[in-house]
């Protein structure tokens, strides 16, 4: 009988300034301190739990670290915290420094992409490689719905209500099931837990603030593209073809600046790991092995 190797996953907090950051970290059985390290940066409206199955599959061979941002998941931020993408990246920068992460592959998805690219431009020496999954950094990767979202402003009557309309259970579930070929493969746990966190006191206000700040990410696209051209990090791009926010052209756009990137477009939606983990996990494992060597 073949014995399966199941990783030990630790669940911890670390203080970064006045933010108590929650994170998950696998303890690899293979390689010890020399095992490849990957920092997993989650999307909206989720948290580190979106990577729980990937960690279970790969965590025995690799050190996988998945934090929750301020305003998400189990991370605790003070009442006066100012929510912006610069602020989220600042906390993640401090988080990496507190854990002594000086070289890692970075997995970026959705909101994790603007957070991650801010880290990359501040600390290019940290980045051993990129795994990009439905994380946009190009204008052509924005759907009409995404462009309408980015155009929302706090001083326009009705725009805050439009943001809040996205923070309902129906919309959260739709992000998970939308674009999938078989919704039966998508467990309800993800959207249920996301909505639980969204409904906590102060969390919707945090998401409204981030929505109104999203345009700052688009303004930085040229900077991030220049960083990719200059540093040419090894890259694996896996992309759900039918993402309602970030359509397929956003995946192909990376090849302009990273012509050697490995690209896989998959028949699914935004949260591709939910139903396509059997396809994506081996790609990530092979990429980690290749890049780390």
Other CB atoms closer than 10 Å to residue 140's CB: what's the count? 11
Q: Distance between CA 227 and CA 229 in Å, rounded?
A: 5
Of 215, 252, 264, 270, which one is the catalytic site residue? 270
DSSP class of residue 76 equals B
Rounded CA-CA distance 58/53 in Å is: 9
Q: Is 270 annotated as catalytic?
A: yes
Q: CA geometry: angle at 177 spanning 176 and 178, to 5°?
A: 100
Cβ pair 199, 222 in contact under 8 A: no
Helix, strand, coil: what percent of the chain each, to 5?
Answer: 45, 20, 35
> Judging by DSSP bridges, how do beta strands 262-266 and 235-240 pair with one another?
parallel
Catalytic residue numbers?
A: 270
């Amino acid at each position: 009988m073949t014995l399966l190797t199941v990783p030990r996953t630790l669940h911890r907090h670390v203080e970064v300034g006045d933010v108590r950051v929650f994170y998950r970290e696998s303890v690899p059985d293979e390689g010890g301190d020399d095992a490849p390290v990957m920092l997993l940066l989650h999307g909206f409206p989720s948290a580190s739990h979106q990577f729980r199955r990937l960690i279970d599959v790969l965590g025995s061979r690799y050190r996988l670290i998945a934090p929750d941002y301020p305003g998400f998941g189990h991370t605790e931020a003070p009442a006066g915290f100012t929510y912006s993408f610069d602020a989220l990246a600042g906390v993640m920068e401090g988080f990496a420094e507190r854990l002594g992460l000086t070289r890692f592959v970075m997995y970026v998805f959705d909101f994790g992409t603007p957070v991650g690219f801010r880290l990359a431009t501040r600390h290019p020496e940290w980045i051993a490689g990129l795994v990009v999954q439905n994380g946009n950094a190009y204008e052509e990767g924005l759907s009409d719905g995404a462009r309408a979202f980015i155009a929302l402003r706090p001083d326009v009557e009705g725009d805050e209500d439009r943001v809040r309309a996205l923070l309902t259970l129906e919309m959260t579930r739709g992000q998970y099931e939308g674009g999938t070929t078989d919704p039966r493969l998508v467990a309800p746990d993800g959207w249920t837990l996301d909505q639980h966190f969204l409904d906590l006191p102060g969390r919707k206000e945090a998401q409204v603030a981030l929505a109104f700040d999203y345009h700052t990410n688009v303004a930085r696209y040229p900077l991030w593209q220049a960083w990719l051209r200059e540093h040419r990090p090894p890259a694996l791009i896996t992309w759900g073809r039918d993402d309602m926010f970030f359509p397929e052209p956003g995946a192909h756009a990376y090849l302009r600046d990273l012509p050697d990137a490995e690209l896989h477009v998959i028949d699914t939606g935004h949260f591709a790991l939910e139903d396509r983990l059997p396809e994506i996990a081996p790609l990530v494992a092979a990429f980690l092995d290749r890049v780390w060597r």
